[in-house]
Chain A
């Protein structure tokens, strides 16, 4: 892209980051809670975006992985272990489970991963609810402590929000680097044209499995932040609905676009809040809005932006071609 366009992009990025840091200083407790929730959900949605948007696989278990991470954090930190240890456990566990679930399911027709993750989602919920010796079942785990980050306590809303924002930043950088690497290129290939990808030597099964396992691990990361955010967890939020919500976030924001999850999570978390003034109707309005958006642009919001920019580019390109052509024709 042109130098000016790049300049504007960087400036916009800095402005947004600055806003995310400065503006919430004036927010009250509830506002900071919602914003932290957005950051946490974005991490989970980014994981799902990797699985769905880049590798083209539907996972209906992302909510369950968030739950695993949350319970790992809750159980371990209430026993006095540091959050970072829980993070390690969550990442390893979710990655391994993702691998185990994905390996046989990807041997067969590709939409069967969706079904296996659907089953796993509900099974995980049942385990959370029933194994009360570990999870305290329906009573839940309360008094989950907030972590000490490099000497700073995060008990107050604003420091914890910065902790979430920082985590989001680190995860985003890691994702950016993954997407830019040869792996990211392979992901795009296997999403766009698996047959061609195969003929170029790309082990589509291995890459798809890795995308799913990494995506699931990110769900676990989100979960380890979720537990200290709410400071109380029970099985209720970690059922199929959460997985479906995350799926909706990815698609509405724009599946396969890097910033899609940010947008999708914002809409899912913030829109119901803004619509609260409509009282009972806000979920209906949300549902209708989602349906209309998808009818208009199945590639989500960023899809609309992408189409607009692409049209401008093709118009510019064909204008250039027309000029070149007329020059050729008038040449001696």
Chain B
């Protein structure tokens, strides 16, 4: 069974600096892989290489068996890879529903159907379903800029799922979210993972979040993979403990 994501010996250097120095791993369908490591270990760079934001200096990335190394982010998106952002990137002037319709509209039809077809691209129902799922119902017509930070995070996640993606990469989804919202977010992500068999890769610093949500955890340090295993395995790994130095 082909892995949803296969990363083979990816390397990325900036001048003389080896940000990512040969990382390889697979992610199977339905897994939630956590990606952790001390600051500067290369996780964000690895993420960006997978997502097409950066082109790897070496190595290969495959999604569902297709080679995607070096494709542009919009092309990757249309192949079923989506992401959330560390710094919130919702569209503040559009309503919550509009944000969601926008997130989904490029995944169906073509330019002409989008021009001459219905103004919601047939996505109102799907958007409302997503709104219901993330419990944002009372905010459906509110401008996204007026939502609280935690609510915007939920919207950001919801947008990533609109296109029915195969693989979602979440960049520090827990960052800056208060405890109550965090519980909601974790619960919603777990639910969507179950119901849609969506595969996640999550970069996070919040250990509790990662350990309780992820099925497997990968630890990076200095551009290389330090450990890979279930949360409890990783937590007990002495090399990992040392890398974090009493974290």
Contacts and interface: CB of A to CB of B under 8 A. Distances in A.
Contacts of B94: 185, 188
Nearest to A185: B102
A201 B106 contact: yes
B45 interface: no
A14 interface: no
Contact of A201 (B78, B93, B119, B146): B78
A193 interface: yes
Interface in B32-64: 51
A179 B213 CA distance: 41
B163 interface: yes
Interface stretch (A56-64, A202-210, A216-224): A202-210
Given A181-B115, A188-B94, A193-B89, A203 B105 contact: no
Contacts, number: 77
B115 to A, nearest CB: 5
A201 B74 contact: yes
A26 interface: no
A155 B213 CA distance: 75
Contacts of A108: none
Interface in B130-173: 146, 159, 163
A159 B93 CA distance: 41
Interface in B93-107: 93-94, 98, 101-103, 105-107
Contacts of A199: 51, 73-74, 77, 82-83, 85, 89
Nearest to A200: B103
A183 B111 CA distance: 8
Contacts of A29: none
Given A196-B85, A200-B159, A204-B74, A185 B105 contact: yes
Interface string A301-332: 00000000000001001000000000000000
B175 interface: no
Contact of A186 (B102, B119, B159): B102
Contacts of B183: none
Given A201-B106, A202-B106, A192 B93 contact: yes
List 4 A-B pairs, minimum CB-CB distance, nearest first.
A201-B77, A201-B106, A196-B89, A182-B114
